[in-house]
């Protein structure tokens, strides 16, 4: 695990941003390219539940609207073009984000991950999934990429299409909350124990993979104390990185209908900034901070409407840490 000197945590932004890990590993930023590999989700297709998580924007993921899903290589080329023109980017991570990206056979997963890793200038992959959609065989496949032994990566090296010995391989689990009552309310269809089990299984079978946990602030009926309990539990699981974002309500979702019916309120900016600062203070020193805010600019977001850019919200969180005189792991207890 990579750690920083405490002196680096006592300067803005007062935590370890994931971008710093990328620069450390690759000498420059590596930009995440979101791809839709055509997966579905057991929480939608009926094998675990139907309807999906109430906050999931699965209307726009519906098969009828996804017939135009292009090959992974084409999606990556489009993404690279954008970041090259805008930021002069050279290195990229393929981010399997849409739906549940381990929900298929090992053979099919291998085809998809191979295709992404084989593409030019791809230095790693990030795989977003549910904790109940992983097993030892899938993790062994992921480990073969993470330790660089996979045939696709060895060929890339031997053909001098990369100089990087081992790709960066991240598995991202949606933990969201440790409270099963909240998970039930949002129709998550997995328990917190399944998240704990997935973390343990990942450490056992894919020890070289980077493990990221997602958490949400402002879920319906959760008090600040409940969210702090989830933060403490996440810290106990010692993820390599964390995404802590606010709950946002997207149009045409079950959550949008519940919100419009007045069942709960949208989170406030002040509350999210406070809880994000709490989260940073409690994270272990080795954990990288991948994200601290959810979607704010998408036109489909109904609430909250904070009128701030993501950058402004990141700055508010750093300002809050400065005001408190704290930083990442100030309140970390092993």
Task: For residue 56, state whether it binds ligand SF4 (rule: CB under 6 A).
Answer: yes
> Could you tell me the smallest distance in angstroms from the CB atom of residue 125 to ligand SF4?
18
Task: For residue 304, state whether it binds ligand SF4 (rule: CB under 6 A).
Answer: no
| Distance, C-alpha 69 to centroid of its chain | 22
Task: For residue 53, state whether it binds ligand SF4 (rule: CB under 6 A).
Answer: yes
Rule CB under 6 A: choose which of 21, 31, 43, 142 binds ligand SF4.
Answer: 43
Task: For residue 99, state whether it binds ligand SF4 (rule: CB under 6 A).
Answer: yes
Taking the least distance from each CB to ligand SF4, the nearer of 98 and 282 is: 98
Contact 178, 237 (CB under 8 A): no
Taking the least distance from each CB to ligand SF4, the nearer of 45 and 77 is: 45
> Could you tell me the smallest distance in angstroms from the CB atom of residue 211 to ligand SF4?
18
> Could you tell me the smallest distance in angstroms from the CB atom of residue 146 to ligand SF4?
23
Task: For residue 9, state whether it binds ligand SF4 (rule: CB under 6 A).
Answer: no
Taking the least distance from each CB to ligand SF4, the nearer of 130 and 210 is: 130
> Could you tell me the smallest distance in angstroms from the CB atom of residue 34 to ligand SF4?
14
Task: For residue 13, state whether it binds ligand SF4 (rule: CB under 6 A).
Answer: no
Q: Would you tell me the crossing angle of helices 151-158 and 106-118 to the nearest 10 degrees?
A: 20
CA–CA distance, 244 with 175 (Å, rounded to integer): 10
Taking the least distance from each CB to ligand SF4, the nearer of 44 and 171 is: 44
3-state class (DSSP) for residue 81: helix
For β-strands 91-96 and 122-129, DSSP reports them as parallel
Task: For residue 97, state whether it binds ligand SF4 (rule: CB under 6 A).
Answer: no
Taking the least distance from each CB to ligand SF4, the nearer of 56 and 231 is: 56
Rule CB under 6 A: choose which of 16, 58, 141, 156 binds ligand SF4.
Answer: 58
Taking the least distance from each CB to ligand SF4, the nearer of 56 and 116 is: 56
| Distance, C-alpha 131 to centroid of its chain | 13
E-strand ranges in 177-291 read 210-217, 241-246, 249-250, 288-291
> Could you tell me the smallest distance in angstroms from the CB atom of residue 131 to ligand SF4?
10
Edge to edge, the sheet with strand 241-246 lists: 30-35, 91-96, 122-129, 168-176, 210-217, 241-246, 288-291
Binding-site size for ligand SF4 (CB under 6 A) equals: 10
Contact 78, 18 (CB under 8 A): no
**23 to 42: interface string for ligand SF4, x by CB under 6 A:** ------------------x-
- Restricting to residues 113-152, name those near ligand SF4 by CB under 6 A: 130
Pick the closest to residue 36 from 8, 11, 2, 61 (CA basis): 61
3-state class (DSSP) for residue 158: helix
End-to-end alpha carbon distance in the chain: 15
Residue with tokens 């997935």: 198
- Restricting to residues 191-230, name those near ligand SF4 by CB under 6 A: none
- Stretch binding ligand SF4 (CB under 6 A), from 50-58, 137-145, 204-212, 283-291: 50-58
Taking the least distance from each CB to ligand SF4, the nearer of 147 and 197 is: 197
> Could you tell me the smallest distance in angstroms from the CB atom of residue 298 to ligand SF4?
15
User: Cβ contacts of residue 259 below 8 Å, gap of 6+?
Assistant: 249, 266, 302, 303
Q: How far is CA 325 from CA 224, 316, 328, in A?
A: 21, 14, 11
CA–CA distance, 233 with 282 (Å, rounded to integer): 10
Q: Which residues bind ligand SF4 (CB under 6 A)?
A: 41, 43-44, 52-53, 56, 58, 99-100, 130
């Amino acid at each position: 695990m990579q750690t920083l000197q405490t002196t680096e945590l006592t300067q803005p932004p007062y935590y370890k941003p994931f971008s710093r890990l990328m620069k450390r590993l690759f000498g420059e930023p590596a930009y995440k390219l979101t791809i839709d590999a055509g997966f579905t989700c057991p929480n939608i297709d009926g094998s675990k539940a139907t309807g999906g998580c109430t906050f999931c924007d699965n209307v726009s993921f519906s098969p009828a609207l996804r017939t135009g899903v292009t090959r992974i290589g084409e999606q990556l080329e489009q993404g690279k073009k954008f970041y090259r023109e805008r930021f002069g980017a050279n290195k990229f991570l393929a981010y399997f984000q849409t739906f549940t990206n381990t929900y298929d056979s090992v053979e099919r997963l291998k085809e998809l991950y191979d295709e992404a890793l084989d593409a030019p200038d791809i230095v790693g992959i990030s795989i977003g999934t549910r904790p109940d959609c992983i097993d030892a065989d899938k993790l062994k496949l992921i480990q073969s990429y993470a330790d660089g032994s996979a045939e696709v990566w060895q060929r890339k090296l031997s053909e001098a299409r990369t100089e990087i010995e081992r790709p960066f391989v991240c598995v991202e689990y949606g933990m969201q909350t440790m409270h099963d009552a909240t998970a039930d309310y949002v129709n998550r269809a997995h328990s917190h124990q399944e998240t704990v089990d997935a973390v343990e299984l990942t450490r056992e079978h894919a020890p070289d993979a980077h493990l990221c946990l997602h958490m949400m602030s402002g879920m319906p009926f959760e008090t600040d104390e409940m969210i702090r309990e989830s933060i403490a539990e996440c810290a106990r699981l010692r993820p390599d990185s964390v995404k802590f974002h606010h709950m946002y309500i997207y149009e045409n979702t079950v959550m949008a209908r519940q919100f419009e019916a007045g069942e709960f309120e949208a989170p406030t900016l002040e509350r999210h900034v406070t809880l994000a600062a709490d989260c940073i203070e409690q994270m272990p020193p080795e954990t990288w901070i991948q994200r601290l805010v959810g979607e704010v600019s998408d036109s489909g977001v109904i609430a909250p409407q904070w009128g701030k850019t993501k950058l402004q919200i990141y700055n508010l969180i750093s300002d809050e840490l400065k005001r408190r005189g704290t930083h990442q792991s100030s309140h970390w207890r092993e």
